[in-house]
Chains A and B, each alone.
Chain A
Amino acid sequence: MHKEPVTDFATDWDHTDPQWVNNPYPIWDDLRERCPVAHTERYGGGWFPTTHEMIAEIANDTEHFTSRQVVIVHNKNPELMPPAPIGGAPPITSDPPFHQIARRLILPAFAPGPVRALEDQVRALCAKHLDALTGETRFDAGARFARYISPGVISRMLGFPEADEDQFRDFVHLVLDLIDLPTEERIPLFAPMTDYFDQQIADHVAHPRDDFTSYLLNVEIDGQKLSPEHVRGTMVLTLVAGIDTTWSAIGSAIWHLAQHPEDLARLVNEPDLMPVAVEEFLRFYAPVTMARLVKEDMEFHGHDFKANDWVLLGFPAANRDPAVFKDADQFIIDRAINRHAAFGLGIHRCAGSNLARMELRVAIEEFIARFPRFTLDEDEPVTWAPGQVRGPRAIPLRVL
């Protein structure tokens, strides 16, 4: 779809504009100094605050901002199934007080203990895809490695066939990337995804097993099983939020290391540095921005927010705010004080953060163990995913 390119992000921002997609950081730094709340009439009207303080303020204010829709699209759908405060993909689309109930159901599956139990599986998955690269000296680390890790983990968690992974990436593409399609073109595209999840649910009802889907089908709130819409919504959330995000984080880390041999060498030589480095990868290349809707007309730091305006919470922009981070625009691999907001702030903190962190750490550990020296292949382009989850898709490398 043809759109006017953005000439001033302060008054007309668009997170799908090629300039933003390719390198948003200078835009955000400029807005932070100049505005610091940017506005747009696109998508039916919205705001983009750029300071850590304001982003935290909105993330923690569930009284004035609803999570009913967290992905900016051209329609603000008042007829969600299930309706507010549950929303289409609980708990990310839920508001209090239901939010906490829905969230408590899923958190134990993503707590540190269960996540640790998955580490060997993730390592084996990484090894499988790295084995396939043995002997190659030029390859696309996005297409050949980064994109396989999280779908492999999530499909096993949900109990979906691994062979269906290509479809999962299509679903993610639909939910997160094709946001710019007109509503009448976008809605019908959801039918195959809904059908797929309904088939998986039916299969799990007929053949229960020890996985997250069977857990959701059997768990109860006040003695009542979850509605089919709730089960499906949480499954969609797990799949969509679990794939693109971590894939982007792994890709960004590899892209960084390809351009910073000194950081790569330190990680190869000082494996104990990895947990600290992971937090800096998360700060510097935080992939995820999340939206809210304004509940009722209100004033926000001098701006007239109208009911149903979008607010895009730029956690990656918060992570570059010099008011909170010393040398915010510098990647410091051993940064000891790093209060980043990559997983969001407040009650909607990414439920899968422990899993994501583990996948990122293990993927990088395994990758650099096989390829301790590599650089970007300047002959091929790096491409970036557009929209609210940003990360490199094509990462052309040369092994040194």
Chain B
Amino acid sequence: MKVVIDADLCQGQGRCFSIAPNVFGFDDLGNGVVLGDGTLTSETLKLAQLAMANCPEHAIFIEDDE
């Protein structure tokens, strides 16, 4: 499982990196960025899902492995 942020949808609401600081960071404008390659472990998956459910812009997506 992998998490991605759609940069066109992200408006820097700042919820993801507060909820899941091990999964998300931010750039110099305050927009959310995925840390590393976004691969999720069983622990980080839950936090990433929580961040996704709290993103007001619906900019976070969790993709199944191919």
Interface residues of chain A, those whose CB is within 8 Å of chain B, are 104, 107-108, 110-113, 275, 279, 336-341, 343, 345-347, 349, 353-354, 357
Contact = CB atoms under 8 A, between A and B. Distances in A.
Lowest 8 A-B CB distances belong to which pairs? A111-B30, A349-B11, A107-B29, A337-B53, A339-B56, A108-B28, A112-B26, A354-B14
Contact of A339 (B26, B30, B53): B53
A349 B29 contact: no
B51 to A, nearest CB: 11
Nearest to B53: A337
B22 interface: no
Contact of A108 (B13, B18, B29): B29
Given A111-B28, A337-B53, A349-B12, 5 more contacts: A112-B14, A339-B56, A341-B56, A353-B12, A354-B14
A281 to B, nearest CB: 15
Contact of B26 (A111, A279, A336, A357): A111
Interface in B1-56: 11-15, 17-18, 26-30, 50, 53-56
B63 interface: no
A353 B14 CA distance: 8
Nearest to B12: A349
A340 B13 CA distance: 10
Interface of B: 11-15, 17-18, 26-30, 50, 53-57
26 contacts: A104-B29, A107-B12, A107-B28, A107-B29, A107-B30, A108-B28, A111-B27, A111-B30, A112-B14, A112-B26, A112-B30, A113-B28, A275-B18, A336-B50, A337-B50, A337-B53, A339-B54, A341-B56, A343-B56, A346-B11, A349-B11, A349-B12, A349-B13, A353-B13, A354-B14, A357-B14
A222 to B, nearest CB: 18
A357 B30 CA distance: 14
A18 B57 CA distance: 33
Contacts of B15: 279
Q: Which DSSP category, helix, strand, loop or mixed, fits chain B's interface?
A: loop
Contacts of A337: 50, 53-54
Nearest to A104: B29
Contacts of A107: 12, 28-30
Contacts of A275: 18
A112 B27 CA distance: 9
Contacts of A357: 14
Contacts of B54: 279, 337-339
A354 B26 CA distance: 12
A275 B17 CA distance: 12
Nearest to A115: B30
Given A107-B12, A354-B30, A112 B17 contact: yes
A279 B15 CA distance: 9
Nearest to A103: B29
Given A275-B18, A337-B53, A343 B13 contact: yes
A346 B13 CA distance: 9
B16 to A, nearest CB: 11
Given A107-B30, A346-B11, A339 B55 contact: yes
Contacts of B18: 275
Contacts of B11: 345-347, 349
